[in-house]
Structure 1
């Protein structure tokens, strides 16, 4: 896989005429550059090439290794019919791309149930499969890893490789993570004391249990509820909903459940589940 150093993560700044409260869907950087709808990762090598589609799309590849189309996929009964897998939740015209909740891909990419004895063990086993991370110790509700075993630091795999799946991750020592960060961004990862996870930019995105990331430091938890409270940096007065998320996450229903840079590429700073809503001007010239 190609290193992230070639990534063209953003192309244009938001037009000055757009109001700050702009929420309508906008084209992410790689859509602008490659003219491929739903393209979220691209490279400048040999001209702008699309290398990966949004997680809900299926890629059509050309002979020279570029994505020419990100096709809309099927769900529900259509996915089961197309893939021939009774436990498939999303598929293209032939292959299952995502298993139903409680199932994971085996070595033959069939959706099978876990044989673990408890619900917690089944959930962890499923997460380790979907995130391709055997060192994962805890999971988010969406099946992504949220904590590593021991003192290892969690990083999304698409921080290291352009065309990694959005759920994939890796657990590294702080030293190894800094080595990866320097090879791509020329600076160490930002890992304050008690940080356990970084985002696509190699910046701390989560602290140890019982702590929250506020103003770049891990402090006593702010006490905001929600299934993704570990990514919340500020909540409402009643402490029932998050109003500010860490890193490039966005709120969805009061919780920080949307990792925008993983879903739509590093050029996306804010998003909804359906689309990127704000580009990041820091990456208007790509990561170099």
Structure 2
């Protein structure tokens, strides 16, 4: 039998489910697709039976869960590994198990085929297919300990990398502020760090400084700049910036609104667009 880890032994701290998985948060989490391509899983010959459209769902953690009770105690976003040793055999109970797993909002289920469960139960496959839940089977024996170790190491390493990057960015802009750097230089550094266009506008929506813009962006900004024909930048609203879906956050200083940052929700290649009011 493959190595199995006692679910109560050596428990580790994991990301809190109370924090909603946003696009920015999920960027540091592996997807179901990526987990299935990891070496400990790939060598067991995984086959996806259902939920192909949701293989890019983020995996918050990995658990070995052989019973419905264990799965029910999850917090959502987990990828469950099982051999089927604790699964029921009759169709009605299997359907109930499927509904429990679906309602637990797990990221997916991976079943190792073997003596306890030589084939994927048809009733379970049907429930998962209806719900669109990713369900994969492993045609060879897998070391579940190796799988959980690989996934958890990836999650923790990327979260640490994100924290270090955040600290570096905070230190950079704190230093720029203390040095009294001009607005155009700060905007240039922001565009470099974000790999994205950054525009500083005053409260009248006139462009004060911009960096990281392509030719089309620059032409449009010139037309809407204080020296252009309109002298006023068109209001794009909180949701868009040149067709990109954006989110907005206010920053306050001395009790008043100092700026507004608009960041793309679905940036290409990790890019983010920002609009700052002064």
Provide the TM-score with structure 2 as the length reference. Answer: 0.23
Question: Which protein has the bigger helix share?
Answer: 2
Provide the TM-score with structure 1 as the length reference. Answer: 0.22
Higher CA-based Rg: 2
Considering Cα pairs closer than 8 Å and 6+ residues apart, tell me whether 1 or 2 has the greater RCO. 1
